[in-house]
Structure 1
Amino acid sequence: MRLDKFLKVSRLIKRRTLAKEVADQGRIQINGIQAKASSNVKVGDELTIRFGQKVVTAKVVHLKETTRKDEAADMYTIISEKRVNED
């Protein structure tokens, strides 16, 4: 599954266009390697996403083409969430 679609379906990022922009800015890594919006995501991959002042690391648990809002959080597990101070 494409990275931008996974982020939207799992609701880690609300819109696919926003997920594409974040990936194009180099703020997403898959298993430690910088990822593009078109990068492939597999079960077991570790995503690191930089949201402004916060860095979230999540592990992919399930891949689904569509999901309901209450099931979206089952697609990933949050490994860590850190605040980053940019000076």
Structure 2
Amino acid sequence: MRDRDALARYYRELREKKGSDDRDRWVLQIKELRVTHNCSNLDAERAALAEPIWRRWVEHYINQDSRCAKMARLHIRINGDAALIVEKDGKLAVR
């Protein structure tokens, strides 16, 4: 358990050093949640998106950053009906 706590703390510290506009913050948040809760990527993403601040952050970046949009569309293809993101009329949104 101590190793998981240390790893979660490590990811949190890395994330906190990033600027608010650094898209790597999302990846580090998901890694931290996966370690903390011993869950899948999809479950960690679901937990993160339950937080309004992360939901707004993700919705902004998936529509403003081409790399994020590409990853959002990949998420939709991989997860199908279970996807946490939808695309409607060319705009991506969190469900």
Structure with the largest fraction of strand: 1
Query: What TM-score do you get using the length of structure 1 for normalisation?
Result: 0.24
**Whose helix fraction is larger, Structure 1's or Structure 2's?**
2
Q: Which has the higher contact order (CA 8 A, sep 6+)?
A: 1
Larger Rg: 2
TM-score by length of 2: 0.22
